[in-house]
Amino acid sequence: MEEDKQFNFNKFWGSPLIEPHVVFRRNSNMYCVYCGDRADTREHCPSRAFLNKPYPTDLPTVPACKNCNNGFSADEQYTRAYINYLHEYYKNGNIDIFSSGAEVRSENADARRAVGKFIQTPCGDERLMRIFTKLAVCHAAYEVSAGYYSQENTVTITRIAYGIKPLLEVTEWQELECMEMISDEILPEIGSRAFRNIYVVEMETKSADGAGCRMPMLFMDWVDVQEGFYKYQVYFKNGQLWVKMIIRDFLYCEVVMLLDTSSKMIY
């Protein structure tokens, strides 16, 4: 019998104290990443609303309670429709979308109205920000085992920002799309899945006496969930937890969280 020796990078190798908060396993004790209550449902991160068919079969999942899971669905539908309308207008130059037929779902009609206003005067949208925060919490829980809600952890959102490619300078977008240098930062917890996305690059530098030396630098790469449709990055920077997402190679968003480390568990 040949043994399967392949290392499973998606498996969680971290602390058993954290596991019930970040790993969905049927018939086990789990806690909702959003509210800390007992969890009984599986949350795909990202949710399929932001992906294209056929869906990837191995989507990351985290535990969530039914209330939270259902509580996001209207805003998620709204956000999906909002991004579709923005994409139609700015990417495909389709202006008919605002005059064509009635929308069946009220979320879609709301999104169409909101995008109509956005085109006149670009502004932030609270329902989108709520969903971006939700996505960020999931990605952070899955990737670095942090950012989820529990009695021991408090998470404060310190920044939510988003923008779309057609309204940004080319160089601005390129910068947003770079891998993040994390050499001087806190690394994710040992056993976190994020380790599969860290690259070590040897950089050639010169010291004061002119001798050359090689310095290893660490970079955090993107997790490509579906090419051209959804990718994200999670890393620590300046003492905060950053989550960046790019949806449809068109919309960029970032969510920054401050974690209360005073009550951090000891491993």
Q: How far is CA 86 from the centre of its chain?
A: 20
Q: Determine if 230 is a binding residue for Zn ion (CB under 5 A).
A: no
Task: Determine which residue in the list 15, 20, 35, 88 makes contact with Zn ion, applying CB under 5 A.
Answer: 35
Task: Determine which residue in the list 18, 30, 32, 86 makes contact with Zn ion, applying CB under 5 A.
Answer: 32
Rounded to 5 degrees, φ, ψ at 12 are: -90, 125
Which residues is 201 bridged to in the sheet?
Answer: 217
We find the least distance from the C-beta atom of residue 158 to Zn ion, in angstroms, to be 22
Q: Determine if 157 is a binding residue for Zn ion (CB under 5 A).
A: no
Q: Determine if 34 is a binding residue for Zn ion (CB under 5 A).
A: yes
Whose CA is closest to 136, among 108, 168, 164, 159? 159
Q: Determine if 141 is a binding residue for Zn ion (CB under 5 A).
A: no
Give the integer Cα–Cα distance in Å for 100 and 170.
32
Give the residue with the Cβ less far from Zn ion, 32 or 182. Answer: 32
Give the residue with the Cβ less far from Zn ion, 72 or 230. Answer: 72
Give the integer Cα–Cα distance in Å for 164 and 204.
36
DSSP string across 65-128: -HHHHHHTHHHHHHHHHHHHHHHHHHTT---GGGTSS--SSHHHHHHHHHHHHHHHS----HHH
We find the least distance from the C-beta atom of residue 35 to Zn ion, in angstroms, to be 3
We find the least distance from the C-beta atom of residue 159 to Zn ion, in angstroms, to be 23
Q: Determine if 137 is a binding residue for Zn ion (CB under 5 A).
A: no
Contacting range for Zn ion; rule: CB under 5 A; set: 25-33, 104-112, 150-158, 238-246: 25-33
**Sign of the four-CA dihedral 151, 153, 157, 162:** negative
Residue carrying structure tokens 């502004």: 123
Q: Determine if 30 is a binding residue for Zn ion (CB under 5 A).
A: no
Which residues is 259 bridged to in the sheet?
Answer: 155
Asked whether the beta carbons of 221 and 242 are under 8 A apart, the reply is no
Contacting range for Zn ion; rule: CB under 5 A; set: 18-26, 32-40, 162-170, 248-256: 32-40
Residues 41-70 that bind Zn ion (CB under 5 A): 65, 68
Give the residue with the Cβ less far from Zn ion, 34 or 173. Answer: 34
Give the integer Cα–Cα distance in Å for 74 and 80.
10
Give the residue with the Cβ less far from Zn ion, 67 or 94. Answer: 67
Give the residue with the Cβ less far from Zn ion, 62 or 86. Answer: 62
Contact residues for Zn ion (CB under 5 A)? 32, 34-35, 37, 65, 68
